[in-house]
Amino acid sequence: MELIFPSVIIILGCVALLLFLQWKNLSGPPCISGWIPWIGAAFEFGKAPLEFIEKARIKYGPIFTVFAMGIRMTFVTEEEGIDVFLKSKEVNFEFAVQDPVYRTASIPKNVFLTLHEKLYILMKGKMGTFNLCQFTGQLTEELQEQLENLGTHGTRDLNILVRHLLYPVSVNTLFKKGLFPTNKRKIMEFYQHFKTYDEGFEHGSQMPEYLLRNWSKSKRWFLEFFEKNIPDIKTNKSEKDNSMTLMQALLEIIETETNEQSPNYGLLLLWASLSNAVPIAFWTLGFILSQPSIHKAIMEGISSVFGAAGKDKIKVSEDDLKKLPLIKWCILETIRLRAPGAITRKVLKPVKILNFTVPSGDLLMLSPFWLHRNPKYFPEPESFKPERWKEANLEKHAFLDGFVAFGSGKYQCPGRWLAMLEIEMCIILLFYYYDCRLLDPLPKQSSLHLVGVQQPEGLCRIEYTQRK
């Protein structure tokens, strides 16, 4: 009798626990977990993640969980879930990205959490709309320098041309004038390593580095590049006004707070500044050049502001940019169509969405790419229609409802206005100096990415001839 009683209690306890776990599970969203423990749905999901989640939305409804590589990702696709993602205090950006940041840039999680808010505030201020005018002069100068290298005429893959313009411009503006290599071999090395690092970023953010040998080599190449150059970046001051570049200001905070000169943040800033802005510049030029009426309207705008296009060096002011809204609309419409596959937040306390409870520890996921294809927000969502941006109050720095390509909330992309400015200037100066036309149709998007904007797949040649 003495033995039976505790056994009954244990059995009843187990049954209660099982029922509780089952109830907990039932109250969660439908879960796609495959049949292999821990690996879960990783193989199917990893092949084409964006297509996978769109199929899952149709099959399981507006909220569902994908279990892969030991991680639960809960996707929200309709208003109520999106609202929680954007506004709830129980979901957090920093805890969601600390693992990927550690894997991709080797920044220890505790260092990231300690410094993040301070660094974010600095970046937001330095690249915010009030400060933007400080970039126009240097961007114009750097772009003009790179455009001179194009010669009087030629044909190139548009993707390569855009990289040749924007990599040096961004690096020299954000880190230090003259930091981007000028020697041909070194430039090629830089491009090759960035390509490998960028293409492997999605895997690199999830897997141990030893499984990705080439990616790891490129990562280490950049860490060494920054390690070598940090002393020079730190001491070099602008000749004109003694102002600091963004990287110099970041290094100052990092050094004060940690007593270290972290090259790792150099790598993170490099990736953030190039990985999205450069493909968006490619797609924007591609969309404009493949639509003759839009191309013509933009050319007319440029001549009306800067005079007949020609060889003279021009200065571009904030006022000039305000007179060319169509270019900005084309950039935003491009970002809408080629938006990042997903953005993410960590659930800190269980949150209720529709009839489900999303448990703490889940990654809450929102796909700008699919949200931008919701006709409720964007009628005829697959069409490139820059004129829809007329409705946005861009003077007040507001985008259209449902546009989340730069994320949202407290940690929205701090580089968004700079990205737009860089691309605007790139289009204006390229079209001012050169007659351009595409020799190939616009390529497809490569199989859709979760991390960052969508990349082109295949060749798209541009022919350019200097204007007389």
Binding region for heme = 413
What gap in Å lies between CA 66 and CA 52, rounded to an integer? Answer: 10
The distance of closest approach from Cβ of residue 7 to ligand HEM in the complex, given in angstroms and rounded to an integer, is 52
What gap in Å lies between CA 389 and CA 54, rounded to an integer? Answer: 26
Footprint (CB under 6 A) of ligand HEM, residues 230-269: 269
3-state secondary structure of 238: coil
**369 sits near ligand HEM (criterion: CB under 6 A):** no
**465 sits near ligand HEM (criterion: CB under 6 A):** no
Closer CB to ligand HEM, 406 or 432, in the complex: 406
Helix intervals (H) in 127-212: 133-148, 158-174, 184-199, 201-204
Footprint (CB under 6 A) of ligand HEM, residues 112-141: 120, 123
Closer CB to ligand HEM, 41 or 127, in the complex: 127
- Residue length, the chain? 468
**166 sits near ligand HEM (criterion: CB under 6 A):** no
Footprint (CB under 6 A) of ligand HEM, residues 266-295: 269, 272-273, 276-277, 280
Which residue's structure tokens are 């050169």? Answer: 434
Distances (CA, A) of 391 to 290, 320, 375, 386: 24, 21, 16, 10
**359 sits near ligand HEM (criterion: CB under 6 A):** no
Closer CB to ligand HEM, 65 or 334, in the complex: 334
Closer CB to ligand HEM, 197 or 306, in the complex: 197
**200 sits near ligand HEM (criterion: CB under 6 A):** no
The distance of closest approach from Cβ of residue 140 to ligand HEM in the complex, given in angstroms and rounded to an integer, is 17
The distance of closest approach from Cβ of residue 349 to ligand HEM in the complex, given in angstroms and rounded to an integer, is 19
Q: How many residues interact with ligand HEM (rule CB under 6 A)?
A: 25
**343 sits near ligand HEM (criterion: CB under 6 A):** yes
Helix intervals (H) in 259-411: 263-274, 277-289, 292-306, 318-322, 325-337, 368-371
Tell which residue, 82, 83, 103, has the closest CA to residue 342: 82
Distances (CA, A) of 172 to 194, 236, 325, 438: 16, 12, 27, 29
Cβ-closest residue to ligand HEM? 407
The distance of closest approach from Cβ of residue 338 to ligand HEM in the complex, given in angstroms and rounded to an integer, is 8
Closer CB to ligand HEM, 50 or 335, in the complex: 335
Do 63 and 353 touch, CB atoms closer than 8 A? yes
Residue 347: strand pairing partners: 91
What spatial distance separates the first Cα and last Cα of the chain, rounded to whole Å?
A: 104
Do 351 and 357 touch, CB atoms closer than 8 A? yes
Q: Which two tokens stand for residue 180?
A: 């981007």
Site string for ligand HEM, 434-463 (x = CB under 6 A): -------------------x----------
Q: Which two tokens stand for residue 76?
A: 């929200």
**95 sits near ligand HEM (criterion: CB under 6 A):** no
The distance of closest approach from Cβ of residue 412 to ligand HEM in the complex, given in angstroms and rounded to an integer, is 5
Closer CB to ligand HEM, 120 or 221, in the complex: 120
Helix (H) or strand (E) holding 102: helix 93-105
The distance of closest approach from Cβ of residue 201 to ligand HEM in the complex, given in angstroms and rounded to an integer, is 13
Catalog residues that contact ligand HEM under the rule CB under 6 A: 93, 120, 123, 269, 272-273, 276-277, 280, 335, 340, 343, 405-408, 411-416, 418-419, 453
